[in-house]
Amino acid sequence: MKVYLYLLNTLADWEISYLTAELNSGRYLDNTKPSVELITIGNTTEPIKTMGGITITPDESIDNIRFKEDDLLILPGADTWMEEENKKIIDIASDVINKKVIIAAICGATVALANKGILDNRKHTSNDIEFFKMFCPEYTGENFYLNQPAVTDDNLITASGIAPLEFSYEVLKRTNLMKTETLEAWYQLYKTKDSKFFYALMESIGK
């Protein structure tokens, strides 16, 4: 499975950290499933600097990517989503979401999707409904907004910027990359900090 992570300046490091760590390491993924290839992509291959000051160079330009059904495109939060250079990936997302590519967007990326009209007829969430109205004057999807940390509607996953764990859970659940019992133990371990879930996690991957 190919997973594409879009990189842009001021990328919010913490919003994707749980997810990218598990996708890249594969340590808890179901080894009966095809392996995951995590590919970083950018509007160009020029390095970006995250909100945490980390410099990352994209593996590929988005111009060279041909998305296929069941690929995953991760759109992290950032303060720069409204810049002109990031409109190209949203245009691509608008196209490929109808071709069964999974789109996972968190925080500021949901605003970019809303401005494109992608959320007008799909269940979704973000940081707050009033936040959406403030930044998305064209937005008409209020009836589809759910006041939850993360929401999945078919091949669209959206989340609040303060819900990186729930975002990761929804993505991993939608992609079926972990066995169900592994995913539940993994999620509960980080959610509750209860060590019993670590042992449940270890047991689940040993089966």
Q: What amino acid positions are annotated as catalytic residues?
A: 107
Q: Hey, which bits of 32-114 come out as E strands?
A: 37-42, 48-49, 55-56, 60-61, 72-75, 102-106
Please say whether the beta carbons of 158 and 146 come within 8 A. Answer: no
Cα–Cα separations (whole angstroms), residue 14 to 66, 140, 198? 28, 29, 22
Distance of CA 114 to the CA centre of its chain: 15
Strand partners, 106: 159
